[in-house]
A = this chain, B = another copy of it.
Amino acid sequence: MVGEIKQIHWQETDLADLEQRYRGTFINSIGGFKSVCLVGTKNTANQSNLAIFSSLVHIGANPPLVGLVFRPDSVERHTLENILESGFYTINNICAEFVPNAHQTAARYARNASEFENCGLTEAYKSPFFAPFVGEATVQMGVEFKESIPISSNGTLLVIGQIKHAFFPENCLHEDGFLDLNKAGSITCAGLDAYYSTEPIGRYLYAKTDRVPTILTKEK
């Protein structure tokens, strides 16, 4: 695959010597395309907040759990405070149409300013769920906080929540429970600032040692 193209090798000392912002950009992008989403919260004084995250990770299906990584000293702090104070948050997909708005939520707005209003996204409530959803999102989850796990290696936190409500377009649900995110318009991201739409390669049959890889279907 690399063929004639030269491969660069950086070892530990090379990585340590990179200028801080350069290293942040590099390490954030090397791991692959990421699960990017908008996390909606509200504190008990009714101040809403919306922040973009690219650290969503699937934790389990039964119960349905998702994880998010937080750096406590960053712009994500308001989101974390609201989650711990209220116990609830929403996770919303990002579609190509509102990528600029979603990206803008990363700016450091004041505590008493809502990113919904400042970034042009709709603060939507679905009674009786406490936290605000993104009205423009096609896939939305209402999540309840379960636990916050310190990562001692660098002082970040893994926040685990349980999906209590799932909202999604009827025409994106396959017969076997697969939710077609490409059809739902979801995008993915890389690094800190790059966004991508997707093109289906295919779904594969459950892998077995006595069967060759078999394509199940192209999604569209």
Contact = CB atoms under 8 A, between A and B. Distances in A.
Contacts of A201: 96, 99, 187, 195-197
Contact of A8 (B168, B182, B198): B168
Interface residues of A, number: 128
B33 A186 contact: yes
Contact of A15 (B107, B166, B180): B166
A219 interface: yes
**Total identical chains:** 2
Contact of A59 (B65, B154, B170, B213): B154
Interface of A: 1-2, 5-12, 15-16, 18, 20-37, 54-67, 69, 71, 91, 93, 95-97, 99-101, 103-109, 113, 118, 126, 136-139, 141, 146-147, 149, 151-154, 156, 158, 160, 162-171, 173, 176-182, 185-188, 190-209, 211-213, 215-216, 219
